[in-house]
A = this chain, B = another copy of it.
Amino acid sequence: MNKESKILIVGLGMIGASYAEKLHGSGYYVGGISARESTVAKALQEKIIDCGTINVTKEFVGQFDIVVFAVYPKLFINWIAQHQDCFRSGALITDVTGVKCSIVYSIQKMLRSDVEFIAAHPMAGRERSGIDNRCSKVFEGANYIVTPTEKNSQEAIDTACELGRILGFGRISVISPEEHDEMIAFLSQLTHCIAVSLMCCKDSAHLVDYTGDSFRDLTRIANINENMWPELFALNKTQLLNQMNLFEKEFVRLKEAIATDDIETVKQMMITSTERRKLFNK
């Protein structure tokens, strides 16, 4: 990757548009593809891309050295199946998908042998979607995770890491797709499941005036994109169910300790909890 590398962003939603803006602002030649004409027009008008289209053609896509997919997972797979002949030979493909095993292996399997796919996950986002909510500031201090397989070259891994640095991420890591999916199931998907369940289990409108920080903290992420997340859950189902079962078992253990006045267990869980949480203080 050098200053001459031309970068195409497929999907100009919150993440895609933030990538485009940051890369364009860093001096790269950036192209954009969106399903909506109005999004392309806005991206051009607000000068976050140099060129853009709604039409996927060999002429357009073939200009680019690096192609970043910032679309929903299933759309990503369909796009590759349908349009992969459009890539320039030697192009490097990467993505922003929040689940890895179910994506990486199928894409790598179906992809042309003269094009390489290196998967990456920028662990950043906002509660609002779309180009108007782009904000590359969310990358600052956030994690950027590259998840190579045996099929990937060191060069591709290095380029993906460099992209993360240019985008301004705080920490760049390289782990396997499997480690990624277990981690994301626990840290992100399980926490969203908890927040949604807490919000759904009781109509709490009458309690809003009494709400302190605890409830607000636990439900901030209960404001959730219902189009994207069910797809991500389904694509990481086994890992997510594992983590949900771990949590449920522990929650029931605490409940039973409270029900049977087993103060010692309650206390011991609190000591463990406090001790472990210390590591996560920023």
Q: Which residues of A contact B (CB under 8 A)?
A: 123-124, 142-143, 145, 171, 173, 183, 186-188, 190-205, 207-227, 229-230, 233-234, 237, 240-241, 243-255, 258-259, 261, 263, 266-267, 269-274, 276-282
Whether A212 touches B123, Cβ cut-off 8 Å, given contacts A204-B276, A205-B276, is yes
Candidate in A142, A143, A246, A247 with the most chain B CB atoms within 10 angstroms: A247
Are A195 and B273 in contact, CB atoms less than 8 angstroms apart?
A: yes
Q: Chain B's nearest CB lies how many Å from the CB of A224? A: 5
With a cutoff of 8 Å between Cβ atoms, the chain B residues found around residue A282 in the complex are 216
Q: How far is the CB of A233 from chain B (nearest CB, A)?
A: 5
Residues in B with CB closer than 8 Å to A222 are 273-274, 276-277
Tell whether, in the assembled complex, residue A221 and residue B210 are in contact, meaning their CB atoms are under 8 Å apart. Answer: no
B226 in contact with A142 (CB, 8 Å)? no
Contacts known (A230-B270, A251-B193, A259-B237); A276 close to B199, Cβ less than 8 A:
yes
**Inter-subunit contact B209/A267 (CB<8 Å):** no
User: B195 touching A183 by the CB < 8 A rule?
Assistant: no
Q: Output the nearest chain B residue to A259 by Cβ-Cβ distance.
A: B241
* Chain B residues closer than 8 Å to A279, beta-carbon distance: 204-205, 208
Q: How often does this chain occur in the complex, in copies?
A: 2
Knowing A194-B218, A223-B277, A261-B234, the reply to whether A142 touches B251 (Cβ < 8 A) is: no
Q: A196-B273, A223-B274, A234-B261 are in contact. Are A210 and B266 (CB under 8 A)?
A: no
Using A200-B269, A209-B171, A222-B274 as known contacts, say yes or no to A215 and B280 having CB atoms under 8 A apart.
Answer: yes
Taken together as a complex, chains A and B put the C-alpha atoms of A198 and B273 apart, in Å, by 8
Alpha-carbon separation in the docked complex, A139 to B252 (Å):
34
A70 to B218, CA, bound (A): 27
Q: A202-B186, A263-B230, A280-B216 are in contact. Are A224 and B255 (CB under 8 A)?
A: no
Complex A-B: 11 CB contacts under 8 Å: A194-B251, A195-B273, A196-B270, A197-B251, A199-B277, A200-B254, A201-B251, A204-B280, A211-B280, A222-B276, A226-B267
Min C-beta distance of A271 to chain B, whole Å? 5
Kindly name the residue among A225, A234, A266 whose own CB sees the greatest number of chain B CB atoms within 10 A.
Answer: A266
- Complex interface: chain B residues within 8 A of A183 (CB): 207, 210
CA distance A222 to B275 in the complex (A): 9
A259 to B255, CA, bound (A): 24
Closest B residue to A220 using CB positions: B217
Find chain B residues with CB under 8 A from A196 CB.
254, 269-270, 273
A253 to B244, CA, bound (A): 12
Q: Which of B224, B245, B254, B280 is within 8 Å of A273, CB to CB?
A: B224
For residue A124, give the distance in angstroms from its CB to the closest CB of chain B: 7
Q: Flag if B273 contacts A210 (CB, 8 Å).
A: no
